[in-house]
Amino acid sequence: MTRLAIMVLPATRHSPRARGEGWGPIVATGERYNPLGEHPDGYLSYSPDGRMYAIITGDNRIKPHDVAPTDEERVKLHRTMIAYAGTYTVDAEKVIHHVDISWNQAYTGTDQIRFYKLDGSTLTITTVPNKSPTDGREGRGILVWEKVRAPTR
């Protein structure tokens, strides 16, 4: 089962979890594909103090044979994830992630523009046209998140 998490509104005081219903870049040809597989996993959070983080991993990731992966395992793990954190600004149509730290140093210090649509408990985020950080193909990323309740204790 795919699990993705998000805190949608800066004024929200709790941390809801969400499940992703699927995502994938649309390349210039109109083709849709899922570079991280059909069931990516991850978290996306926006906090009231203006900080955010995102981590997404592909489905069917390898499990290293040891705590310290081999170089080959490390490459496979790196290719099946996206992760960054920083601050954010939001307006009526878009959120901009101001990246302070990332899994790919090319993202650090950049602004990642994301258009969003909130429909009930479903949040759809669409990137501007860009090169996919997983395989370099040109397109737009579309991520669909479903808000769910935090677990009870």
| Ordered domains of the chain (ranges, CATH) | 4-148 (2.40.128)
Residues 24 and 141: beta-carbon distance below 8 Å: yes
Average pLDDT over residues 66-91: 94
Q: What is the pLDDT at residue 64?
A: 94
What's the token pair of residue 23?
């995502």
State whether the Cα torsion 12-14-15-21 is positive or negative.
negative
What strand order describes the sheet that includes 17-23?
A: 4-5, 17-23, 142-148, 122-127, 111-119, 94-102, 81-90, 51-57, 41-46
pTM: 0.77
Instruction: Examine the pLDDT at 143 and tell me if it is beyond 90.
Output: no
26-73 confidence digits (pLDDT tens) = 556 667 777 888 888 878 888 889 999 988 888 889 999 999 999 999
Q: What is the pLDDT at residue 76?
A: 92
Rounded to 5 degrees, φ, ψ at 76 are -65, -40
